[in-house]
A and B are shown apart, each in its own frame.
Chain A
Amino acid sequence: MKFNTVIIGGGLCGLTCGIALQKAGRSTAIISTGQNALHFFSGSFESLTEAPARMADLFGEAGIRLHYREGVRLMPLGTFRPAALSLEDISFFPKPKIGEKALIVSFKRYHDFFAAFLADGLEKQGVACRIEWLDLPELEQLEKSPSEMRSVQIARTMDRIWEKVVGEIRALVQDEDIIILPQVFGLKDTSVPIRIRESLPAQVVFVGTLPPSVPGIRTQMLLKRRYELLGGTYLTGDEATDAHVHEGRVHSIVTKNLDNHFLEADNFVLASGGFFSKGLKSNPFHIFEPVFGLDVEQAENRSDWYHPQFMHDQPYMAYGVKTDAALHALREGAPMQNLYAAGSVLGATRPEFGSGAGLAVRSALAVVDQILKTEAE
């Protein structure tokens, strides 16, 4: 089967790349084994403060609205980080003293949201906190299997009963100016968090839970739907295992499910993520890129890959696939003519694109530009 571009990896980077290329009228396929880092997404695109050119359009058309204001945002353990470009679920504040009094609401027997840590953190900033636990009969079903009382399962119930829950929360509010809720709203419907904000008498702040991330899964679903609507082919659960390369050009890739039916394309994009997604792997001697055997930035000695203190910045987290200026991936020191690398698989080799989700989006768009430019020449 032949496409204009085949993209390996269907996370934020692969989907951004695929949507932009489909919009430009190119035929693409995304192949992705397993789900991706968006399932852990906080809702904030680290290293971005404004949406790069085209990103706002591209996300907006998929039904994902973004915003940014200078200041700080509240983290799940009651700490603060500088604001970053975010989904509308996320709130920004000028400073960590986010209000006078906060009401923190969670659900009985739900353990994936850290209300006490939040209260602790906020009280250090001089915000008085009160925690309330809702006991909802609708969640009793889930409690029968306590190991599964998780954000996504709760969010499915909330999609049905959020209006009722808002009513119960309203009854709890006394004189608080802030209401803090776990991010378990609007799994299917982006407008729910906004409507909740409008229906409560104080400022509503949604704070992250343990994974899976509800806004992250929603983002993944909307981007994938948009991509398919634009005619893109998303091969779920398949894995690129090998490639046919001739004189620095990739001719086709081999996948686990399609075995001897190779995927051919003019361009290939490697958006296979970092260690977490197995875009990068290691053995006792090397850190390597498993599909094409590309060059990977790394310290020579294994003992230099990591810092013995666990919480310290770990050098290996910065390792990634080497590229030339135009993001062509390098193999044995030479750039591959039609293979680009983007997203987390780059590690920190290209600091100009930032890190985290910012890196994923910015490098994806840079690759798209490069593909279209090369075609025009």
Chain B
Amino acid sequence: MKLQEYTESKYNFEECMKCTICTAYCPVLQVNPLYPGPKQAGPDGERLRLKDPFFFNYALKYCLNCKRCEVACPSGVKVADLIQSARIRYDHSKPKLRDRILASTDFMGSLARPFAPMVNGVTKMGVTKAVLDGTMKIDKNRTFPKYSGRSFEAWLKRQAPAQAAFPEQVAYYHGCYVNYNYPQLGKDLVKVLNALGVGVQLLDKEKCCGIAMITNGMSQQATRHARHNVAVIGAAAAKGLKVVTTSSTCTLTLRDEYPGLLGVENQVVRDSLLMATRFIYEKLEKGAQLRFRPDFHKRIAYHTPCHLEKLGWGIFSEKLLRMIPGVEFTMLDSNCCGIAGTYGFKKENYAASQAIGAPLFEQIRNVNPDVVACDCETCKWQIEMSTQYPVANPISILAEALE
């Protein structure tokens, strides 16, 4: 009876029925002819690679790891996991300095933050950009995320006594972006949760989730981060705390990529970690109340980040935004914005990255909203740079709409 179960491989590649549906949904295939596409790079290639690693194709590095192929596959093949795991298994080339720098988001953040105004100034300058473009192959057309002068962690530590006074507590995995680039999102979360009677704590020294390391060929470093994060999230869970997040990519990495790609067991994470939008929605559903400003009015277009679509939790962001009185809500079509973390920063990917995002940018211009809502920090950079529309996390919009 169990024969079929026992013969199933980790990424299900033998379930592929060669229907080609995944190829219709891969954003890279639409713009980059060098990329073999999900079917070829995933299940078809796997069959060959298992025979002989010689068949590993270095063009797999063009995969964005957006997971759209997996979401579309009717047979449950883990196409993107197959591709990323093949890169981990077979690509032993050393990552370039540039990739190592782009991947080390927390290290970069802790270095850059004390000099924030200077770094921001320098990365804005044409000369610096030209140098980065020429020597590092970081595309000069990119606008860089700004570094904030004070980290979110430092801010929240000062609030600790006030936060501890709330009857209910959660821990917050804020990620590098909130800590170094945009503490305001973390502050917004604290405001909303406090309004629900929930205090916010830090974890015992979280590390970067490591997704950029995984996609830049640094899986060993990523595995060390994974073990550390599972341990600190486990410690919070042991104290009975839920752990909330505001970044869809960190969440997907912590929940799915750790066991899926790095082989790090993480049941405790799966049981205790959730997007803050889901946490808030579930509280409201159980009867908690938020009081909104009567004069709030916004036309919001919502973009579901690829990784949130994969998690399947976009529904909570959507429902929360629709719940705010005075919001006119438009759901944007399911499209990739093209940046995919560090991918779009690389000179060789810049053109592809912008071409992938073009249909999304066009739709945003047509809808002409007051603000684009989205739960991903890199989507925010990409959309703001490419459309001039402001982008805000649903949590920040909630915070703004509160009385």
Q: Say whether B4 contacts A212, CB under 8 Å.
A: no
Q: Say whether A145 contacts B74, CB under 8 Å.
A: no
**A156 contact set on B, CB distance < 8 A:** 30
Q: Say whether A225 contacts B333, CB under 8 Å.
A: yes
- List 18 additional A-B contacts (Cβ < 8 Å) besides A145-B40, A233-B315: A29-B315, A35-B73, A36-B74, A143-B33, A145-B35, A147-B44, A148-B29, A212-B21, A221-B333, A228-B331, A236-B309, A237-B312, A256-B312, A258-B313, A261-B278, A276-B74, A278-B76, A283-B4
**A255 contact set on B, CB distance < 8 A:** 312
- In the bound assembly, the distance between CA atoms of A156 and B285 in angstroms comes to 43
B20, B312, B331: which contacts A235 (Cβ < 8 A)?
Answer: B312
B24, B70, B333: which contacts A237 (Cβ < 8 A)?
Answer: B70
A242 smallest CB distance to B (angstroms): 16
**B333 contact set on A, CB distance < 8 A:** 221, 225
**A152 contact set on B, CB distance < 8 A:** 23-24
A142 contacts B by Cβ under 8 Å: yes
Instruction: From A142, A143, A148, A278, name the one whose CB has the most chain B CB atoms within 10 angstroms.
Output: A148
**A238 contact set on B, CB distance < 8 A:** 312
- In the bound assembly, the distance between CA atoms of A256 and B255 in angstroms comes to 13
- In the bound assembly, the distance between CA atoms of A277 and B40 in angstroms comes to 22
B72 contacts A by Cβ under 8 Å: yes
Q: Say whether B23 contacts A258, CB under 8 Å.
A: no
B33, B34, B72, B312: which contacts A258 (Cβ < 8 A)?
Answer: B312
Q: Say whether A236 contacts B334, CB under 8 Å.
A: yes
Q: Interface of B with A (CB < 8 Å)? A: 1, 4, 19-21, 23-25, 29-30, 33-37, 39-40, 44, 70-76, 278, 281-282, 285, 309-313, 315, 318-319, 331, 333-334
25 A-B pairs with CB atoms under 8 Å apart are: A1-B281, A1-B319, A29-B315, A33-B74, A34-B21, A35-B21, A35-B25, A35-B73, A39-B21, A145-B33, A145-B36, A152-B24, A153-B23, A211-B20, A212-B21, A221-B333, A233-B315, A235-B312, A237-B70, A237-B71, A237-B72, A238-B312, A256-B312, A261-B278, A283-B1
Q: Interface of A with B (CB < 8 Å)? A: 1, 29, 33-36, 39-40, 141-145, 147-148, 150, 152-153, 156, 211-212, 217, 221, 225, 228, 233, 235-238, 255-258, 261, 276-278, 283-284
A141, A147, A237, A284: which contacts B40 (Cβ < 8 A)?
Answer: A147
- In the bound assembly, the distance between CA atoms of A147 and B36 in angstroms comes to 8
Name the CB-closest residue of B to A210. B20
Name the CB-closest residue of B to A40. B19
A262 smallest CB distance to B (angstroms): 11
A3 smallest CB distance to B (angstroms): 11
- In the bound assembly, the distance between CA atoms of A192 and B42 in angstroms comes to 33
Q: Count contacts between A and B, CB distance < 8 Å.
A: 99
Q: Say whether A35 contacts B1, CB under 8 Å.
A: no
Name the CB-closest residue of B to A238. B312
- In the bound assembly, the distance between CA atoms of A35 and B44 in angstroms comes to 19
**B19 contact set on A, CB distance < 8 A:** 39-40, 211-212
- In the bound assembly, the distance between CA atoms of A150 and B29 in angstroms comes to 11
Q: Given contacts A39-B24, A141-B33, is CB(A233)–CB(B318) below 8 Å?
A: yes
Q: Say whether A212 contacts B71, CB under 8 Å.
A: no
A144 smallest CB distance to B (angstroms): 4
**B74 contact set on A, CB distance < 8 A:** 33-36, 276-278
A14 smallest CB distance to B (angstroms): 14
**A142 contact set on B, CB distance < 8 A:** 33
- In the bound assembly, the distance between CA atoms of A189 and B1 in angstroms comes to 49
Q: Given contacts A148-B40, A153-B29, is CB(A236)–CB(B23) below 8 Å?
A: no
**A212 contact set on B, CB distance < 8 A:** 19-21, 23-24
Name the CB-closest residue of A to B333. A225
**A258 contact set on B, CB distance < 8 A:** 312-313
**A256 contact set on B, CB distance < 8 A:** 312
Q: Given contacts A1-B285, A211-B20, A233-B315, is CB(A148)–CB(B310) below 8 Å?
A: no
**B23 contact set on A, CB distance < 8 A:** 148, 150, 152-153, 212
**B72 contact set on A, CB distance < 8 A:** 34-35, 237
- In the bound assembly, the distance between CA atoms of A362 and B74 in angstroms comes to 24
B70 smallest CB distance to A (angstroms): 7
Name the CB-closest residue of B to A140. B33
Q: Say whether B71 contacts A153, CB under 8 Å.
A: no
Q: Say whether B4 contacts A148, CB under 8 Å.
A: no
Name the CB-closest residue of A to B74. A34
Q: Say whether B37 contacts A147, CB under 8 Å.
A: yes
Name the CB-closest residue of B to A284. B1
- In the bound assembly, the distance between CA atoms of A221 and B72 in angstroms comes to 13
- In the bound assembly, the distance between CA atoms of A1 and B315 in angstroms comes to 10
Q: Given contacts A39-B19, A235-B315, A257-B311, is CB(A34)–CB(B36) below 8 Å?
A: no
B178 smallest CB distance to A (angstroms): 24
B25 smallest CB distance to A (angstroms): 8
Q: Say whether A148 contacts B36, CB under 8 Å.
A: yes
Q: Say whether A145 contacts B34, CB under 8 Å.
A: yes
